[in-house]
């Protein structure tokens, strides 16, 4: 487990509630203009989030069941860093780790089916296609992490 002198708190909040609240060593998240890395004692900042996969490294836990890395799909919102606390308030966020393969498949199918409908403008459709691409990548990562831990 990392030394508490090396860690900081990371909280991820989405419309469905709090997805993550943990001590961590580093986080990389998608900002509106590229990837941002955060470590302990990072300078204070506030930034707009983009679309992409967020990586939370070396989550400290007493449980051996938790992975060393957590991956989340982030789609918009804001990130704030202050006093060794990273708060992500996402418009949408998905974490598939620990989710059964059948449920992951159902989530992907629902996204594909929604894309096949006429509910999106061309710009929204382009965004949703990118989001589906990231969701597919997140599913692959989650399956690989699950297979590694079994």
**Model pLDDT for residues 4-60, shown as the tens digit of each residue:** 678 999 999 999 999 999 999 999 999 999 999 999 999 999 999 999 999 998 665
Task: Record the pTM.
Answer: 0.85
What's the confidence (pLDDT) of residue 32? 96
What's the confidence (pLDDT) of residue 150? 47
d(CA 53, CA 35): 9
Q: What is the mean pLDDT of residues 82-111?
A: 91
Pick from 78, 74, 28: nearest CA to 51: 74
């Amino acid at each position: 487990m990392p030394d508490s002198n090396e860690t900081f708190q990371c909280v991820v909040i989405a419309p469905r509630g709090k997805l993550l609240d943990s001590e961590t060593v580093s986080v990389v998240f998608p900002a509106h203009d590229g990837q941002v890395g955060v470590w302990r004692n990072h300078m204070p900042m506030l930034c707009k989030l983009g679309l992409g996969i967020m990586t939370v490294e070396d989550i400290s836990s007493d449980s051996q069941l938790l992975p060393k890395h957590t991956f989340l799909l982030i789609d918009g919102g804001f990130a704030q860093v202050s006093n060794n606390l990273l708060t992500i308030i996402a418009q949408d966020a998905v974490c598939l780790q620990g989710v059964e393969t059948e449920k992951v498949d159902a989530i992907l199918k629902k996204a594909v089916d929604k894309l096949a409908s006429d509910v999106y403008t061309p710009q929204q459709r382009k965004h949703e296609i990118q989001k589906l691409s990231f969701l597919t990548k997140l599913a692959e990562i989650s399956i690989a992490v699950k297979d590694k831990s079994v």
